[in-house]
Structure 1
Amino acid sequence: MHHGSGGAVEAVPGLFVVLEGGEGVGKTTQWNRLASALRAVGHEVVAVREPGGTQAGDAIRTLLLDPTSSLSPGTEALLFAASRAQLVADVVEPALARGAVVLVDRFLLSTYAYQGAGRGLPLDMLSSVNRLATGGRAPDLTLLLNVPLDLAMARVQARGAADRMELEDAAFHVRVQAAFVAALSSTWQQAHPEIGPVIAVPAQGDIDTVTVRCLEALVQRWPARFTAAATSLLHAR
């Protein structure tokens, strides 16, 4: 690691950024667009989704999202944690070690919302299992995309792609949404340091506007690192 002058490059720390939200908020679209916008201005971005991102994780993803899979809540939670453990070991930690921006589509907060609030599993149990999975690695920032639940559900219906989670009843999605909203309070975040800071990004409106909001959130947190990306995206519009 070089410091000082002489043209040496400062080693920058890796950053771990997560995109979260319920079904139909446009999260995966923004995850892709954010990765492209950051790469366009020279950031190394490692973009992975949960569950998945490794060979083991992709096999687990198939099982978890298959509408014909019959899984108990405990099995489901353990499978998510198993996929996460492999992802953190194989992808997240090595990328952070070399200073990359790691962009993950869903992480531990989804487990709290879906398996905790949605399925009714106790958070302390989910937290213990996931300490093993993450090795204590918390995201540096989580961008929580939110749109009103009725609009999100209408989007899911419109795209017609129903995986196991999307097929859950309305009450399930209401519980999930409530858990995400709760995670925005500073009191909740202080009580759950393993989640890291969570900020809301309104995800209504056109796709470009939402991408700009995501970038602005990064700029606010790390101005020196992300101002160029935000500026070039705004000029490109």
Structure 2
Amino acid sequence: MSTGVQGERRGALIVFEGGEGSGKSTQLRRVSATLARRGVSHLCLREPGGTPLGTEVRRVLLDRASDIAHRAEALLFMASRAQLVEREVRPALDRGDLVLLDRFFLSTYAYQIAGHGLPEDEVRAANRFATAGLVPDLTLLLSFPVTEGLARAARRAASHDRIEAMGEAFHRRVAAAFGTFADPSWQSDHPECGPIVAVDAEGREEEVAARVTAALAARWPGTFPPVGT
């Protein structure tokens, strides 16, 4: 019989963040496989996406033929997020399930605020509205060199999507923002992001997976046994 997060009265939201090619989606899938083997009830979602509305928004946002103003782009991401939180994330948490989410507000901060230069206070206010105040229980921030990450992303796809194709200067601004998020002072100034743990994403996939598991075990030892046990 499946069980929820051990020792929790409600579920938990774990977010996987990082720049292009950081390996966050791969690590999320590995964690999901581990949870499935252990019989832990969980749900895997991604942004944008996860709902019919979110899937359509994702298609528009990533289509290189789409001409989207920066503010419109931010609001499309928020619309997808609002639908995902209300229709999928909150119901799963209320059931006591663990939710693994590929991207959340840190990506908005990195891409729309740092990357495009949108006003921080306005975007943060829009996020609070879209999420109705939902805060992740933990965010795993996978750090990986931006140039290598873009090269990795290019190898896995026939061509760059609209966001991947925004150029190295844009992605360096994004990477610089991601590099600040694990700082305790940044986190204290941005409580809506919840606790953030940086994970070194360089090395073999199995090595990164061990670091991810260690970070999760530090928070939920009953659900994620420490590596080597």
2:198 maps to amino acid: A
Task: Name the residue aligned to 1:86.
Answer: 83
State the TM-score, normalizing by the size of structure 1: 0.90
Regions of 4+ moved over 4 Å? none
Identity across the alignment (%): 48
2:222 to 221, 224, 237: 224
Show the counterpart of 1:44: 41
Which structure 2 segments of 5+ residues have no match? 1-5
CA distance in 1, matches of 2:168, 2:127: 27
- Kindly name which structure, 1 or 2, has the bigger radius of gyration based on alpha carbons: 1
Q: Quote the Cα distance in structure 2 between the aligned partners of 1:170 and 1:219.
A: 35
Instruction: Tell me the residue number matched to 2:95.
Output: 98
Matches within 5 A, 1:1-237: 12-159=9-156, 160-227=158-225, 230=226
Q: Which whole-Å CA distance do the structure 1 matches of 2:8 and 2:220 have between them?
A: 15
Match of 1:4 in 2: none
* Aligned residue identity for 1:53: G
Could you say what secondary structure the match of 1:167 adopts? helix
**Does the 8 Å CA contact 2:147/2:168 hold for their aligned counterparts?**
no
Alignment partners' CA distance in 1, 2:171 and 2:52: 29
Q: How many residues align?
A: 223
Distance 1:28 1:111 in 2: 17
1:26 shift after superposition:
1.1
Please give the per-residue CA displacement for 1:40-80, whole angstroms capped at 9, x wherever unaligned: 11111100000000011101010011111000000000000
Q: Provide, for residues 11-42 of structure 1, a one-character-per-residue CA deviation record: whole Å limited to 9, x for no partner.
A: 64211000000001111111111111112111
Letter in structure 1 aligned against 2:57: I
Q: Which 5+ residue runs of structure 1 have no aligned equivalent?
A: 1-8
Question: What is the root-mean-square deviation in Å for CA atoms of aligned residues?
Answer: 1.6
- The structural deviation recorded for 1:10 is 7.1
Normalization by structure 2: what TM-score?
Answer: 0.93
Pair 1:182–1:10, CA change in 2 (3 A): closer
**Equivalent AA in structure 2 for residue 170 of structure 1:** E
User: Are the structure 2 counterparts of residues 161 and 208 from structure 1 closer, same or farther at C-alpha, using a change threshold of 3 Å?
Assistant: farther
